[in-house]
Amino acid sequence: MSRHDNRQPGQIRPITIEKSIAPHAQGSVLISFGNTKVICAAMIEESVPRWMKEQNVPGGWITAEYSMLPYSTLTRKQRDSSRGRPDGRGTEIQRLIGRSLRAVVDLKKLGQRTLWVDCDVLQADGGTRTAAITGASLAVELAGRWLVEQGKIKELPVKNRVAAVSVGIVAGEVLVDLDYLEDKDAEVDMNVVMTDKLDYVEVQGSGEESVFSASQLEKLTSAAKSGIEQLLAIQKSALG
Ligand code: UDP
């Protein structure tokens, strides 16, 4: 079976990374996984949350927010602010982004400051969380470099890069980096987050009205690993 956009099963979509697209943020990128486009911006606040001060926790903090812009979807998605409540999916995704970044950021080296990472989806076509994580890693690194350049800290507070990709089973076949058309037909859907040392940060997988075997799980994670390797190479050429 061939994919509707003629990709090989293990092939990710064309990736583009545009740096510093939000000049007021200390680090920002616009990342595209095909037609999925996400703005990732990291801003530094020179203070830490109150609970950290109260409990004398040393170092800094990093927190992520995620949203889909109203015009990112085919039919307009209402803003949370006018809906009056945050949506569960967005909350879940921003926690995932935060955990992924905390796994690779050295909060002690960050010093007593908060890194706010905002991921806003400009265009959604499947895999917005994986694009957000892959882009956010770079936005954070750029903000870290800014801190070093400004003489605010001595060393880059980033231990590793992190990248993420979706994998799934569609019509019995393992596919990497599913777009919306593929995602909606997937029997199994998985999001995998790994560092540039190829250690796992998180694996989210579920059978959608279906189940999967141990050997399929192995095929999925190994396909994800090769997708992430492709992403890590692209991150490297974007940031050096
Ligand atoms: N989607 C949408 N509106 C929504 C949620 C999702 O149009 O409120 C579409 C969008 O293209 C998204 C895809 O469904 O990328 C898959 O959504 P999922 O929740 O699996 O997250 P993602 O794959 O974007 O991380």
- Residue whose structure tokens are 């037609």: 35
Q: What ligand 1 atom has the least distance to the C-alpha of 93?
A: 25
Is residue 104 a part of any domain in this protein?
yes
Q: State whether the beta carbon of 76 lies less than 6 angstroms from ligand 1.
A: no
Regarding the beta carbon of 100 and ligand 1, being less than 6 Å apart is answered no
Q: Counting atoms of ligand 1 from 1, which one is nearest the CA of 126?
A: 15
Q: Which atom of ligand 1 is nearest to the CA of 132?
A: 25
CATH of the domain at 161: 3.30.230.70
Number of domains in the chain: 1
Q: Whose CA is nearest to atom 23 of ligand 1?
A: 127
In-domain check, residue 10: no
Residue 34: predicted pLDDT: 98
- Compute the distance from residue 181 Cα to the ligand 1 centre, in Å: 11
| 22-80 pLDDT per residue, tens | 999 999 999 999 999 999 999 999 999 899 989 999 999 999 999 999 999 999 999 99
Query: Residue with structure tokens 């880059």?
Result: 156
Q: 126 is in which domain, residue-wise?
A: 15-239
CA distance 138 to 129: 15
Q: Which residue reads 């801003």 in tokens?
A: 43
pLDDT (tens digit, 9 = 90+) per residue, 129-181?
999 999 999 999 999 999 999 999 999 999 999 999 999 999 999 999 999 99
Secondary structure string (H, E, C) spanning 59-72: CCEEEEEEEECHHH
Establish whether residue 180 lines the binding site of ligand 1, counting it when its CB lies within 6 angstroms of any ligand atom: yes
Residue 4 lies in a domain: no
Query: Which stretches within 55-194 are classed as H helix?
Result: 80-83, 88-102, 107-110, 128-149, 180-184
- Concatenating the DSSP letter of every residue in 170-194 gives ETTEEEES--HHHHHT-SEEEEEEE
